Amino acid sequence: MSDFLGFNPEITESAESFEGGKKAIPEGDYKMVATECKRVTNKNGNGFHWWFSYAVIAGEHAGYTIEHRYNINNSNAIAERIGRSQLKRFLEVIGILNPTSEADMLNIAFMAHVKCEKRDWTNKDGEKVVSIQNVIAKIDPLNSATSATTGGATATANAANATTGGTSPSTPTATAATPDDDTPPWEKQNTVEYDENGEPVPF
């Protein structure tokens, strides 16, 4: 740990570019495991979320990581409902519905469908930043009929470069579920945007 810098560069991943972070991987199905997780108190002190880091473990993109936050106790009821139902799905898929430690939820393989989403924001200098980021859209047990081949991923689209000149993949328009919609909660379009602390961005 460097007291001067405030972090340890030797154990920190180096950015591939300064244009929105690391380059996204193509949309597709990937064999993954959770490598890290922790329960985090929300920045405002009101509630908490579970933070997970998932890693691809097969194919040419092995080692690539995607972070995901599950809102468990949140002032936004929609964010809380989505977070709880998604985390339950993950626990069902890995076969441990009632873990007693973080270790219980790590290093159990599953299949994930990864999508690409265009994100844009304004930095502290007032400059608009655009990037393509990966999100986990759906997960299934490893032996699911939708599993990819042992090669790792069955890509369905190429990810655009994380630059303003890149071509972003299209994303579906979010629609609210009707009361009689029997679609599982984890497969419904997430209509809540979150900041880096797991807090929902105001509508």
Q: Has residue 188 been placed in a domain?
A: no
Range of 58's domain?
Answer: 22-143
C-beta of residue 68 within 8 angstroms of C-beta of residue 137:
no
Distance CA 183, CA 141 (A): 18
Q: Has residue 60 been placed in a domain?
A: yes
Distance CA 199, CA 102 (A): 22
Q: Has residue 123 been placed in a domain?
A: yes
Distance between first and last Cα of the chain: 39
Percentage of the chain lying above the pLDDT 90 cut: 49
User: What is residue 123's predicted lDDT score, i.e. its pLDDT?
Assistant: 79
pLDDT in tens, 129-188: 888 899 999 999 998 644 444 344 444 333 434 334 444 444 443 333 344 445 444 444
- Give the count of domains, the chain: 1
Give the residue-averaged pLDDT of 3-16.
66
Q: Has residue 201 been placed in a domain?
A: no
pLDDT in tens, 193-202: 555 555 554 4
CATH of the domain at 120: 2.40.50
Distance CA 55, CA 60 (A): 13
Better-scored residue on pLDDT, 43 or 151: 43
Q: Has residue 176 been placed in a domain?
A: no
Which residue in this structure is represented by tokens 């007291």?
A: 3
Q: Has residue 197 been placed in a domain?
A: no
**Amino acid letter, residue 77:** A
- Residue 160 in 3-state DSSP? coil
Q: Return the HEC string of 131-145.
A: EEEEEEEEEECCCCC
User: What is residue 200's predicted lDDT score, i.e. its pLDDT?
Assistant: 52
pLDDT bin (cut points 50, 70, 90) of residue 124 is confident
C-beta of residue 174 within 8 angstroms of C-beta of residue 190:
yes
Q: Is the pLDDT of residue 94 over 60?
A: yes
pTM over 0.85: no
- List, in order, residues 6 or more apart from 92 with CB less than 8 Å away: none
Q: Is the pLDDT of residue 69 over 80?
A: yes
Better-scored residue on pLDDT, 7 or 182: 7
Phi, psi at residue 138, to the nearest 5°? Answer: -165, 145
